[in-house]
Chains A and B, each alone.
Chain A
């Protein structure tokens, strides 16, 4: 100690010296200033140069001296610092020595009164001391080494004893599941430098708690064999849920305890340990699940049924696996939620652990913890089994819906349409409830396959039977009678059936579109990649829609050939019976009656009226469109077979206008476009003279696009028998 006071005195002295020197220095500096003034004078006067030189030299040497001095002072200050830190080191050692004494006494007292907390605090203090140095200090100070050594030994023994005792008590508490005591001793391990031991054994304890809770529940299920009971249809989903919740609770409940006593990274040990127990428990639950739910038999049968459509073993009713499917999706959704919980827990640990090196390791741990865990593998297998069963469920239910197809008298579509889409939606929604986008996508893919192949085929098959016309003209009726095929009842039924399936195809297309937009809204993805995946799979429904449309088009092709053509052609052929080379008088009387177009429209009207109540609105519009196309085509053919004069052209023009407006009014679609060729033909046949065509052809003011080629224009012009053949020929188009 005297050393310190000495040094402090030295220091004071030095400080004073420094002050003095500083004053001197200031003086010198002042002097320099004066000298500078003098110097200028001297220079100006240009004399006494010698004196100046001398002064300068003197000044330089003064400055050098003062710099040397200040260096010296610096060095001394440094030495002083070293001395000071030594002093505080000394003080700590001495303190340690004193504490050592206190600790060894404290521990003894604490141990006597079984106050482990107090004892552990003392041991902790002791363990924080550098025991080697302690001894040295004792030597240095020539103190009684024996006392120190004795204290050291005593404390070491106490530490060992305490470690033993606490471990023992901890184990005891664990074995009787005395949670409070477990926590009590768990907190003490870090004080005794037993972090790893503490964490390890605490993890074992938590695993045991988890195992006890779950095994108890599982045994209940096992022994009662009650899973078959209807009210227990999700009993396995419940126990799995319980497993995950229990883990979550164990982690949350002990999070703070671990963080404060062991540091945040130690939580990872618990998470990993619980995951291991979770793997084991999950497996034993799933084993029991498979057993009680007859998974293997069912999977085997379904596999065979899906492959060949029949099974030697037996058949499974889709509704018999309905609840099983739901149970699996619940199980899987709970697994997903659990994963999210673990992920966020680990992320929190990483965030709090801060050090980036450590977080990488923690994240890698998590990777192998979660993704490669047995739990994940088991769940992947389960979802795979689910997908197989769900595919079967969907296929079979749809088949059923098709077999049980029925219709009410006044409905446009039959029951299978609603049923099929109900099933598809149900299956996709169920898959979605598993919170597994891959499962949703797979079911969507399967749904597209079934709709595009199975369902489309059924519709097409029905339509292939054709629409037996029933509108027989005399010759047709005669032929049919001769062949003995006239079975009024049957053909009526076929017709109803045909229109029903035509409507079914249309509504299936509509429903598919609706399904696509509903699912697009409903299904929420958590990542961009998942969203892209889902969208791509959903786009499969667009091609399903197209498939339904092409089935419908196929049906309309039949209608066109068996209904529309045979009826429309004779009506339009009436055109030929009417002369289009009219005198003015003939024109007037014709114009008043419009016999051709009126009867055509009347006939069309009755045809439309017959079909309107039996077709969906889209189909009805298509129906009109096809009629229009047929009328237009046949009319054009007939026009080409007819001779015209100006009056005849005028009549035709009026007829076409009437027809166009009639058909346009009948449908909600814009159909005028279809008539543009006819309208242009009428225009040509209605010209005053040949050259008038040039006002329309190649003219800037022409308000429409020509649908006729120059050759066709000439062809139609030449139908006007009042035009000179040469004029038409010479026409340059």
Chain B
């Protein structure tokens, strides 16, 4: 078995061109890719991080924003532990589409999935969506909110680390289903060790 304690699936969604791929590349490879094309279908990347001395493996699914890939990308919602919904703060239409995305999430994702709203391209001068507006939207829909810049590497690390930390906390409390690659689980009758409840207040 690989050396990690937790495995989480994080799925990025949002309109085409809002910078999902750039965010993922910035986080996993530490670079801002020059002129890469629109994503086809979905891309898949892995990064292992460490929080509180625990190894956490993040499986990051970078979905294509273009409409014609929807029936591919939708199939990834259900097994996601966290969904990052991205819009572009300098592009009103990407913000206006958020309700559509939420409907989609409602339909396909697990109701308990961790949802994060991200306003990307923080570095741009021509902002169209004020921070408060994004924040309010997130609040209204029970989401975390963060503004990022994949270009200037702002808040990108923080975004993923916070998600991982939150998921880890949840996993410790609720015993999220963990995907153990390679474990055959022949011993169905092995008693599961219940972790102490730590967040029932």
Contact = CB atoms under 8 A, between A and B. Distances in A.
A552 B76 CA distance: 27
A542 B79 CA distance: 12
A384 B75 contact: no
A553 B71 contact: no
A446 B40 CA distance: 19
CB-CB nearest 3 A-B residue pairs: A438-B41, A445-B75, A387-B71
Given A532-B46, A542-B181, A546-B185, A448 B79 contact: yes
B4 interface: no
B20 to A, nearest CB: 16
Given A546-B177, A546-B185, A622-B189, A442 B71 contact: yes
24 contacts: A384-B69, A384-B70, A384-B72, A387-B71, A387-B75, A388-B71, A438-B40, A438-B41, A441-B42, A442-B72, A442-B75, A445-B75, A445-B79, A448-B79, A535-B181, A540-B79, A540-B179, A542-B185, A543-B79, A543-B177, A543-B179, A545-B185, A546-B177, A549-B188
Contact of A449 (B72, B78, B183): B78
Interface string A614-657: 00000000100100000000000000000000000000000000
B179 A542 contact: yes
A549 B185 contact: yes
Contacts of B69: 380, 384
A543 B181 CA distance: 10
Contacts of B9: 536
B44 A529 contact: yes
Given A443-B75, A549-B185, 19 more contacts: A372-B37, A380-B40, A380-B68, A380-B69, A384-B69, A384-B71, A387-B72, A442-B72, A445-B75, A445-B76, A449-B75, A533-B44, A536-B59, A542-B180, A542-B181, A542-B185, A543-B177, A549-B188, A553-B188
Nearest to A439: B72
B72 A625 contact: no
A371 interface: yes
Contacts of B78: 445, 448-449
A391 interface: yes
B24 to A, nearest CB: 13
A446 B75 CA distance: 6
A43 interface: no
A476 interface: no
Contacts of A371: 37, 40
A26 interface: no
A598 interface: no
Contacts of B42: 438, 441, 533
Nearest to A532: B44
A533 B11 CA distance: 13
Nearest to B75: A445
A540 B80 CA distance: 11
Interface string B170-192: 00000001011101110011000
Interface in A544-579: 545-546, 549, 552-553
B71 A391 contact: yes
B38 to A, nearest CB: 9
A319 interface: no
A243 to B, nearest CB: 21
Nearest to A367: B37
A552 B184 CA distance: 17
Nearest to A626: B189
Contacts of B59: 536
A529 B41 CA distance: 13
Nearest to B178: A543
Contacts of B183: 542
B18 to A, nearest CB: 20
